[in-house]
Amino acid sequence: EAQPYRNISLGSSLSSLDNSASWISPSGEFSFGFSRIGDNLYVGVRYEKIPEKTLVWAANRDRPAPPGSTVELTNNGLLVINDANGKPFFSIGGSSGGSAITQAAMLDTGNLVLQSSPGSEFKWQSFDSPTDTILPTQTLSVDYKLYAPMSPTILSTGRDYIVMQSDGNFVSYSDISEPTYASNTDGTKGRLVFDESGKISIFQWEKNTTVEITPASRIPKPSKDFYFRGTIDNDGIFRLYNYPKGRSNSWSKSWNVIWETQDSSCEMPGICGQNGYCVGKNKGFDCLCPSGFSYADANNKVLGCNQDVPIIDCGQYNPDDYGLETIDNVNFAGGDYAVKSNIDEAGCRDWFLADCYCTLAVYSDSNCYKKRMPLRSGKVAGGSKAFVKVSLDNSSPLEGGGPSNITSNGRSNWSRFGVVKVVLFVISVTIFILIIIESIILICHRRRNVHRQEKLVGSMQPEIKLMRFSYKELEKATRNFKEKLGSGSFGTVYRGMMVFTYGQKPIAVKQLDKLMENGDKEFRTEVSVIGRTHHKNLVQLLGFCDEGSHRLLVYEYMEQGSLSSFLLGSIRPEWNTRVQIAFGIARGLMYLHEECSTQIIHCDIKPENILLDGNLIPKISDFGLAKLLRHDQTKTNTDIRGTRGYVAPEWFRKMAVTVKVDVYSYGVMLLEIICCRKTVEINMMNEPSGILVDWAYDCFVGQQLETLVEHDEDAKNDMKKVRKMVMVALWCIQEDPSLRPTMKKVTQMLEGAVDVAIPPNPSS
C-alpha cells in the first residue's frame, strides 16, 4: 500500500507501470499519480478514498502520456513527465520567480504545490492552473476559466468553458462564445470562492460583500461527511457534486448533483455539432444523426454528423422519386431560409418535397420551416416533426432509431410491384397521346425560346445572354413575392423557382425600390455592365425586368445564405473554411477592380453582401448597383457613435471615391472573418474590445493576437497565418487611402506571393 507523503524530495518519481505508485496527502484523501481513462493515460490529482479515484485535475489533459511513462520531480526542481525511454515528454510545473525548488507536497485540499522550503510560499501550485474542476478552499480569480472536456473519456480541452469575468459575473459560454449561464452578479469586481462547507459564492472585494451562487438549502449537512467538487462537464454544464464519505440514508454512494447551471444537456446550443440532434439518456444525453447522415466520429458523437447522400441533380429532380422520413418531436434551432405559416402537415410535406434544394424541414405549431444546411442545435421538442428527404430507391432508417416511417407526398407508399403494374398499364393505354402532347410542347418551347431571344437587350453583347423577364413571369415564379430572403439598401430579395430550357432552378429576385428617377437608360447600362461579369466569386446575374415602373434583377440562388449568418451562427465555422472564404472574396474584388472590361466599385462591401453556395464558396452580391441609387440614398449617416463601421473615412471628407473604399471595407470584414464577431459590439462599447478595428490593432501592437481567436483552437494552432491576415487587414483599414494596398496586392499578400510589412497605426 502506498505511504502518505508530506514532502516529496527532489529526484522522486512515479511509474505508470506501478498501479499503486502515488504521492498521497497527509489525510489520505487526495493523491497525485497516473490515471487511465478510456485509452488515455493522464497524470493528475484524484480523490484517493473513492473507489473510482475520481480525477479532479489533469496536468496533461491535451497530451496523454505514452505507455511506460514516469513522472519525476527533477533535481532542478521541475515536475516533468518522461516517456518510457526517459526522455522529457511534458513539463508540468516549476518556479517562475527564479527561486530554487527543493520539494513538492500533495496537500489535503487537493492542491499540488512546489516549494523552496517547508512552510514557505508556493512557487507553483495546481490550483493556479485549473482544468475542468474546482475543489473546496479553491478560488477562481478574474479571467480564470474552467474548460469542459471533449468527452467523459477524452479529457482534452473542449468547446465550452465557464469564467469569472472582470465585471463580477460568473458566466459559461458555448464554443461560439454564446452565453449559456450567468450568475447576474455584475457591477463590481470579485472572485469565485468555493468554501469547505460546499457553498460556492462570489466575494466582491470592492463592496466587501459575498453573494451566494448555490442555494444553501441544496448543501447537505454536516458538510464534513461529504466530498465536494465543482466541475464543468463535457456538455458545457457546470455542476456542484457531493459524495458521501460513509453510509447515507439520503444520498447514493456516488457523485450526486446538488446544483447545476442548466437543467438539461440538450438545452446547450450546438451540443451535438453540425447536423446532429440531442436526446436525453440515463441522466445524460446522446447525439443522433438524421437519416442520410453519419457521425463525423462515431467515438465522439458531439462532433456532429456528415451528410452521406449525394447532392440531388435539380435538373432531373422529380418529387415523386422521394419520400419523407419523419423524426417525431425533434426540432433544429435557427437556420430557416423559408417559412410558411398557417399550413397543415400535409401542405408542409408537399411544399418541402417540391423544393429540390431543401434536405430537411420542420413542422411545428402550423408553421413549416425549410432548414439551411448545415443543421444546428437539434434537440427533442414536443409537438415538432422533422422531415428528412430520402430517395424511395435508397431509403435508410434513422441512425440508432426505430423502424422507418417513410411516406411519399404524405401518403403511404404502394408496393413497388403494384406501382410497376399501374405504370405499365397507363403507358400502354396513353402512349400515342403522350407522343402527340410531347410534339406540341416541343413546338411551343422552341417558339418561346425564339421569342425570349428576341427580348435580349439589344445594346448588350450577344454572349451575355441575359434574359428579360416580364413582371408577370417573376410574380408567378415567386408566387406573388411570397418568400422573402432579405432586404438591404438596394431593395428586397425574394426566392422563386423558374423553368429554364435545362430544367427548373431556384432563383433570387431582387426588387429594386430606390432607383434614380427617369433612370431607364442608367438601369440598362448598369445591367449590361453587370451582365458582362463572370467570376467564380461573383453572384451570377441571370436576367432582369424593366417593365413599366418595375425594376428587378434575377440572380442565381445561394443555398447557404449570407456570410454574416454563417459567421455568427450557433456553431463557429472551421478556421480553414474561413480562410478560404476570405481568399475568395479578395479574388472577387480584384476581378471587379482590375479585370472587368468596365471597372466596378462596389461601395457596400459587408458580410451581408457576401453569399455562400452549397460548397461554401463565397460570392459577392449587389455589385454594380451603387450608381443606380437615388442621390438621397447615397448619403451616409455619420452620426454613429464610436464606430466607422465598414465605411471608408473619405466618404465623410468629400474626397474622390476610388476602389480604395472597397479595400477599407474588406479590411474590416477580414477582421470579422478572423474573429467570428461583429465589427461593433454594442454591449461592449465601454470595453477595449468593443470596436473590432481598434482592438485588433491594440492586440497586434501588444503581441496578444491569440486574444482575437481565444476560443478557436484551430486558429490558435495557426498563429502565423492569423498574424499575416491581421496585418493585411490593418493595411486595408488605413485612414489614408494612398496607404491602402490594391486588392491585387491584398490577394498576393494573403496567398504568400509577396511579404507583408508591419502596418502603421491605421488612425495615424
* pLDDT, tens only, 299-345: 888 888 988 766 666 777 889 888 899 999 999 988 888 899 999 99
Q: Above 50 in pLDDT, residue 633? A: no
Per the annotation, the verdict on 604 as an active-site residue is yes
Least confident of 211-220, 623-632, 668-677: 623-632
Least confident of 150-164, 184-198, 230-244, 502-516: 502-516
Q: Above 70 in pLDDT, residue 635? A: no
Report how far apart, in Å, the C-alpha atoms of 35 and of each of 23, 131, 227, 751 are.
13, 15, 20, 45
For every residue of 688-739, DSSP letters joined together read TTSBHHHHHHHHHHTT-GGGGGTT-HHHHTTHHHHHHHHHHHHHHT-SSGGG
Which pLDDT band, with edges at 50, 70 and 90, does 742 fall under? very high
Cα 207 to Cα 188: distance, rounded to the nearest angstrom: 8
Residue 625 Rama label (left phi>0; alpha psi -120 to 50; beta): alpha
* Sign, Cα dihedral of 538, 541, 546, 552: negative
Give this prediction's pTM. Answer: 0.53
Given this model, what pLDDT does residue 447 score? 45
Record the cell numbers describing residue 560, joined without a space: 447557404
Q: Above 70 in pLDDT, residue 511? A: yes
Given this model, what pLDDT does residue 310 score? 63
Instruction: Give the residue-averaged pLDDT of 349-378.
Output: 90
| Percent of the chain at pLDDT exceeding 70 | 82
Given this model, what pLDDT does residue 375 score? 86
Given this model, what pLDDT does residue 580 score? 93
Least confident of 164-173, 477-486, 538-547, 638-647: 638-647
Cα 56 to Cα 385: distance, rounded to the nearest angstrom: 41
510 annotated among ligand-binding-site residues: yes
Q: Which of 233, 604, 622, 712 is catalytic?
A: 604
Q: Above 50 in pLDDT, residue 595? A: yes
Q: Half-sphere exposure of 390 toward its Cβ, with a 13 Å CA cutoff?
A: 25
Record the cell numbers describing residue 16, joined without a space: 505508470
Record the cell numbers describing residue 232, joined without a space: 464543468
Q: Above 70 in pLDDT, residue 557? A: yes
Kind of pairing, strands 467-468 and 112-115?
A: unpaired
User: Are the beta carbons of 272 and 301 closer than 8 angstroms?
Assistant: yes
Which pLDDT band, with edges at 50, 70 and 90, does 462 fall under? very low
Q: Above 60 in pLDDT, residue 643? A: no
Q: Strand, coil or helix: what is 495? A: strand
Q: What burial letters (b/e) apply to 556-593, b meaning 16+ CB within 10 Å?
A: bbbbbbbbbbbbbbbbbbebeebbebbbbbbbbbbbbb
Residues ≥6 apart with Cβ < 8 Å to 529: 596, 598, 600, 624
Which pLDDT band, with edges at 50, 70 and 90, does 560 fall under? confident
Least confident of 239-248, 523-532, 669-678, 723-732: 523-532
Mean pLDDT highest for which of 92-96, 328-332, 378-382?
328-332
Q: Above 60 in pLDDT, residue 163? A: yes
Q: What is the mean pLDDT of the chain?
A: 82
Question: Between 351 and 681, where is the model more confident?
Answer: 351
Note the residue count of the chain.
764
User: Among candidates 537, 539, 542, 492, which has minimal Cα distance to 513?
Assistant: 492
Cα 728 to Cα 594: distance, rounded to the nearest angstrom: 19
Residues ≥6 apart with Cβ < 8 Å to 283: none
Given this model, what pLDDT does residue 642 score? 25
CATH numbers and ranges of domains, the chain: 1-129 (2.90.10.10), 130-263 (2.90.10.10), 277-413 (3.50.4.10), 467-486+493-556 (3.30.200.20), 565-751 (1.10.510.10)
Instruction: Give the residue-averaged pLDDT of 109-114.
Output: 94
Which pLDDT band, with edges at 50, 70 and 90, does 744 fall under? very high
Q: Above 60 in pLDDT, residue 429? A: no
Given this model, what pLDDT does residue 406 score? 47
Report how far apart, in Å, the C-alpha atoms of 482 and of each of 490, 492, 548 are.
19, 12, 21
Which pLDDT band, with edges at 50, 70 and 90, does 609 fall under? very high
